[in-house]
Structure 1
Amino acid sequence: MNYIESVQHAASYIQEKLDKIQAGTIAIVTGSGLGGLVDGIAAPEKLPYTQIPGFPVSTVQGHAGTLVQGHIEGTPVIAMDGRVHLYEGFSPREVTFGVRALHEAGVRTIILTNAAGALNPGFEVGTPMLISDHINFMVGMNPLRGTNNDAWGPRFPDMSCVYDVKLRTLAMQCALKQGMRLETGTYMGVMGPTLETPAETRMYRIMGADAIGMSTVPEAIAAHHMGMRVLGLSCLTNKNLPDCIEEVTHEQVLEQAARSSKAMTRLVLEILKNLD
């Protein structure tokens, strides 16, 4: 079974086990420590990744590894509670397997969330950041490398607007309605798993990045390639200032993400409530 067939097989299994995915279902991918986003799902049906044929399973703390289907604010949703990363040893195609399977199962809109370090000195830790653009700095890794499936998307997809303008506008309106501070900026995707040196931090900022993390970019590329509407949100868990950089552990990132998840959850709930 080749990659395309594996994705389609997984999609069929998901549809069978979750009683067909409704039209208009919104997918949500949760980042490190942000699994609390799924707590608001009403009447949840759960499907562990380990039961889905071909579905990669994360080895990282803070990523449960479960599909959760249900409704939030009356909107049908399916959440990927946890994701896999390149630094775990997975290939770009494995990292984007879940996103492609959800598309094959009928999902056309996806919200990608992550925990990220702030590079912009004006950004506040604990504040959500709306991703307006990204820089793929994952050592040349691209999920579209290799044979292209024309049924999914073109060989050379345009990347001038990966993150849907209408969804970004809605997110800003929802944050304003909630009286919530929402940063907006460019997300830098790096391979990891090492955190940034002061020199690297300085370089990334000069390149135009406002926040940095080790996920999201491959999934955004794959989703956009397939014609999905993409919304990206980062939870800023720490601040990287090259001249006074502080030591950061993954445990600290998880703790801060957990503390900050309330703001992210409120924002996502408001967005779902107002989605077309």
Structure 2
Amino acid sequence: MPQLAQIKKAVSFINKKTKNFKPQIGLIAGSGLGWAIPPLEKKVIVPYTTIPGFLQSTVPGHAGNLIFGEYKGTKIVVMQGRFHFYEGYQMKEFAISVRTLKMLGVEKLLVSGAVGSMDKQLPPGSLCVLKDHINFMCNNPLIGNSREPEFGPMFFDLSEAYDKTMRKVTLAACKKIGLKAKEGVYIAVTGPNFETPSEIQMFKKWGASVVGMSVVPEVLVARQCGIKVLGLAVVTNMGCGIEKKPLSHEQTIRESKKAEINFKKLMEILFVKL
């Protein structure tokens, strides 16, 4: 089935479940952050497993639900769990979820993720507000997937992949709640293994601040669709070789859980201010 038809089918199903709820802001919640959202009014939960043609989350810490609701008058949809290239999906399949959000009405997208840091000013527990990225996945979700004009032009500008105004609001909000934050550059790798010490040193020389296994494919699809993007990278560990202890996904989940309170406070501000 062509992707446009597949997405229209998913949107039709979701609209029936939510009674044509039109979210203004979308949040993609990364590892361990799926529960770090403010309490929503008029909440409707739609499991990924029930949506026709939707991908399924298979990684621990990704519940696999679309959560719809209102927070102080702002209509929100949360992707409680995302999809990763290392799960075995084709890269072009990642366009399905973001394009579905677009057709549901999303105009601004907050993309969060757990990351390793290469910047000592971004220790575990801090937040890197993304100002740019490097796609080191050597793949792109728009390859062979860009000929449907409903989702934007094939060739589009990325000089401001991450919205300046939303970044400014976020940094001010972080200061208000006492969350250590600064802007930085995300480098995306395929995973699922963590990086080697030599790779981390190379990424630092390229100008990357943090490294992760997601975010960038979603951002590319969103920007093609004309959705404004805010990238929020929660630091769960320092990059391999910077600290002497070995890395693990359990550590990622554990540190993400610690960040839940501050992340939730931040969402309470951003859902209103953005």
Question: Structure 1-normalised TM-score?
Answer: 0.95
* Higher deviation after alignment, 237-246 or 204-213: 237-246
The answer to which of 49-58 and 33-42 deviates more is 33-42
Hey, what does 1:256 align to over in structure 2? 255
CA distance in 1, matches of 2:186, 2:179: 20
Partners of 2:179 and 2:72 in 1: CA distance: 19
- Pair 1:103 & 2:102 matched: yes
C-alpha distance in 1 between matches for 2:114 and 2:12: 31
One-letter code of the match for 1:103?
A: K
Instruction: Note the 1:8-47 alignment, pairs <5 A.
Output: 8-22=8-22, 25-38=24-37, 40-47=39-46
Could you tell me how far 1:38 is from its partner in structure 2? Answer: 3.3
What is the Cα deviation at residue 3 of structure 1? Answer: 1.3
Please report how far the alpha carbon of residue 39 of structure 1 lies from its aligned counterpart in structure 2 after TM superposition. Answer: 5.2
User: How much has 1:243 moved relative to structure 2?
Assistant: 5.2
- Corresponding residue for 1:83? 82
1: distance between equivalents of 2:176 and 2:73? 19
Decide whether the 8 Å contact of 1:11 with 1:101 is kept in 2: yes
Q: Aligned partners of 2:218 and 2:4: how far apart in 1?
A: 16
Alignment size in residue pairs: 273
The answer as to 2:183 corresponding to 1:197 is no
Aligned to 2:50: 51
1:5 match: 5
Counterparts of 1:183 and 1:160, CA distance in 2: 20
Aligned partners of 2:184 and 2:210 also within 8 Å: yes
Structure 1 SS opposite 2:37: helix
1:171 partner SS = helix
Match of 2:183 in 1: 184
**Distance between the aligned counterparts of 2:116 and 2:18, measured in 1?**
35
The one-letter amino acid paired with 1:249 is S
**5+ long unaligned stretches in structure 2:** none
Q: How far does the alpha carbon of each residue in 1:48-86 deviate from its partner, in whole angstroms, 9 at most, with x for none?
A: 001100000011100000010011233110100001100
**CA drift at 1:90:** 0.8
Question: What is the DSSP-based 3-state SS (H/G/I as helix, E as strand, rest coil) of the residue aligned with 1:35?
Answer: coil
Alignment check: 8 A CA contact 1:137 1:190 kept: yes
Q: How far apart are residue 151 of structure 1 and its match?
A: 2.5
Q: Against the structure 1 CA distance between its residues 27 and 147, is the aligned structure 2 distance closer, same or farther, given a 3 Å change threshold? A: closer
Alignment-derived partner of residue 158 in structure 1: 157
User: Which 4+ stretches in 1 moved above 2 angstroms?
Assistant: 37-43, 176-180, 241-246
> 1:116: Cα distance to partner?
0.6
What does the per-residue CA deviation read over 1:203-256, in whole Å, with 9 as the maximum and x for residues that have no partner?
111111100110110000000000001111011000115354420110111011
Q: Name the CA shift for 1:136/1:261 in 2 (closer, same or farther; >3 Å).
A: same
SS at match of 2:232: strand
2:95 alignment partner AA? T
Alignment of 1:116-195 (within 5 A): 116-138=115-137, 140-148=138-146, 149-195=148-194
SS in 2 for 1:37: coil
Within 1, Cα distance between the matches of 2:149 and 2:110? 24
Identity of aligned residues (%): 35
Aligned match of 1:219: 218
Judging changes above 3 Å, is the alpha-carbon distance between structure 1 residues 42 and 245 closer, same or farther for their aligned structure 2 residues? farther
Unmatched runs of 5 consecutive residues or more in structure 1: none
**Contact 2:62/2:80, CA 8 A, preserved across alignment:** yes
Using structure 2 for the length normalisation, give the TM-score. Answer: 0.95
Distance 1:97 1:129 in 2: 26
Q: Residue 262 of structure 1: CA displacement? A: 1.3
Shift of 1:96: 2.8
Q: Cα gap change, 1:135/1:64 in structure 2, threshold over 3 Å: closer, same or farther?
A: same
